[in-house]
Amino acid sequence: MKFLVLNGVNLNLTGRREKEIYGGETLQEIEKELAAFAEEHGHSVEFFQSNWEGDLCAYIQEAEGKYDGIVLNAGAYTHYSYAIRDAIAAVSVPVVEVHMSNVHAREEFRRNSVLTPVCKGEILGFGKYSYFLALESFWL
């Protein structure tokens, strides 16, 4: 199986930003571990990060027939991007929404996701391991 891991706005700062919430590893370090994890289980994974909403929509749209699943951490776009929501709804590729932090234990505005209703599922609160759990959910 082949997967796409998409990371949205500000996730390029992982490892430098709010380490008490997101940890000290960079996004590139986490991606390297995820790639090894997928490979150990006979799968492959590709990665993309953008601070631009349209880029994320384009990658979701282009995933049709190319990937077996998408792991998406949209960052703050989670709470208000109807464009990303519509892109997810427009494709048959299943998407698992991921958050490193427990968004329900944080500020009120983070508790609402416009993406969750069109996703296969949501995994949150396990730090970098949220990504691993999301990947694993596709082949279990």
Positive/negative CA dihedral, 22, 28, 34, 37 = negative
Grouping H, G, I as helix, E, B as strand and the rest as coil, residue 95 is strand
41 is catalytic: no
Catalytic-role residue among 22, 67, 77, 131? 22
Catalytic annotation, pick one of 80, 99, 129, 131 = 99
User: Token pair 């390029």 is at which residue?
Assistant: 12
Note whether 50 and 81 are within 8 A (CB). Answer: no
Q: Does residue 99 have an active-site annotation?
A: yes
Answer whether 103's CB lies under 8 Å from 93's CB: no
Give residues with Cβ within 8 angstroms of 72, minimum separation 6.
5, 6, 8, 56, 60, 84, 88, 95, 96, 97, 98, 115, 119
Active site positions, annotated: 22, 99
